[in-house]
Structure 1
Amino acid sequence: MTQINDIYSLYEVDNEKWLAATITMLKEQQLEHLDLEHLIEELEAMSRRDKLTVESFLEQIIRHLLLLQYWKSEHQYNANHWQAEIISFRTQLNEYLTKNLRNHLQENQDKIYQKALKYVNKKTGMMVEFPLECPYTIEQLLDENWLP
């Protein structure tokens, strides 16, 4: 079996070994031996995962900011918990964040806000009136020290 067939077979059998072999080929500039089909597939999947991950963290931050700012009847009992969650999600988000992912969040902030709004409306039993549009800038959402 040739090296090209080996790398294609390896992808189906052991993804970690395939990835290590692909990285080695890239470092050694053995581009003619790359499994381009699977490499492209993996890069596209990685991009999707990263985008979904940062979107999820931002949605959690928005949820907790909304609860902290607007759910007054629960504020006394839950404010510390909500603030701790905001800190945790911001910390995790900042570990993933790149300039491109930050731009992605900014471009998709409205969509992410609508998902967060749907959640907090259900959580509060729609007893609280939340803004229809995100009241926070991307800078505020990402600022580890900012709270409303």
Structure 2
Amino acid sequence: MKTSKTNINLSQVYDLDDHLWLEETIKLLKNHQLDQLDVEHLIEELESLSRRDKAKVASLLQQIIIHCLMLQYWTNEYQYNNNHWQGEILTFRDQLNRLLTTNLNNYLLDELQNLYQTASKITAKKMGQDISLFPSQCPYRLEQLLDENWWPIQP
């Protein structure tokens, strides 16, 4: 598919220079030259962008859960590390809240239990404890995990 101004075959450009491909695709979209788009690679890029966004927000939420679990359950380290853990939670919350859209929020709601399962395994390993220390179901609601004023209470 060629652009009228530059006579570039976008499909071939994609394999050679992804930045040029992106610039040319943006120009075509802005000019409403939809018939000249490299649709196959555009779909591939949009799917990749979606996966990347989901992975990023999932990673941030997982880090929030890990630090909430440490804050709540790692009692013998609490005195030395609670300020650090709270700082990490605030940092991850800020980063996550900046990225969230309605769709990504819904994705996190759907994935919360899976993220909790992995986070609890990681936290148990960090603490040198058995995973049975933690509830089997996520004890936190997504709204709590995102709320800068909410903190878990020690059992």
TM-score by length of 2: 0.91
Cα displacement string for residues 70-110 of structure 1 (whole angstroms, at most 9, x for unaligned residues): 11010001000100000110111112110100000001100
In the TM superposition, what are the counterparts of 1:30-45 in structure 2 within 5 Å?
A: 30-45=33-48
Partner residue, 1:111: 114
| Aligned counterparts of 1:94 and 1:145: Cα–Cα separation in 2 | 13
Unpaired runs of 5+ residues, structure 1, are none
Unpaired runs of 5+ residues, structure 2, are none
Residue 6 in structure 1 maps to residue 9 in structure 2: yes
Partner residue, 2:51: 48
Partner residue, 2:32: 29
Cα displacement string for residues 42-65 of structure 1 (whole angstroms, at most 9, x for unaligned residues): 000000000010000000000000
Superposition misfits of 4+ residues, deviation over 3 angstroms: 1-5
| Aligned counterparts of 2:130 and 2:30: Cα–Cα separation in 1 | 58
> Secondary structure of the residue that 2:9 maps to in structure 1?
helix
Greater CA drift, 79-88 or 123-132: 123-132
Partner residue, 1:138: 142
Report the count of equivalent residues. 148
> Secondary structure of the residue that 2:136 maps to in structure 1?
coil
Residue number among 77, 93, 112 corresponding to 2:96 in the alignment = 93
Contact 2:116 2:138 in 1 (8 A): yes
| Aligned counterparts of 2:2 and 2:31: Cα–Cα separation in 1 | 18
Identity within the alignment, %:
54
| Aligned counterparts of 2:94 and 2:76: Cα–Cα separation in 1 | 28
Letter in 1 for 2:50: S
Residue number among 73, 77, 81 corresponding to 1:74 in the alignment = 77
Distance 1:120 1:2, change over 3 A: closer
Distance 1:127 1:71, change over 3 A: farther
In the TM superposition, what are the counterparts of 1:116-127 in structure 2 within 5 Å?
A: 116-126=119-129
Letter in 2 for 1:146: W
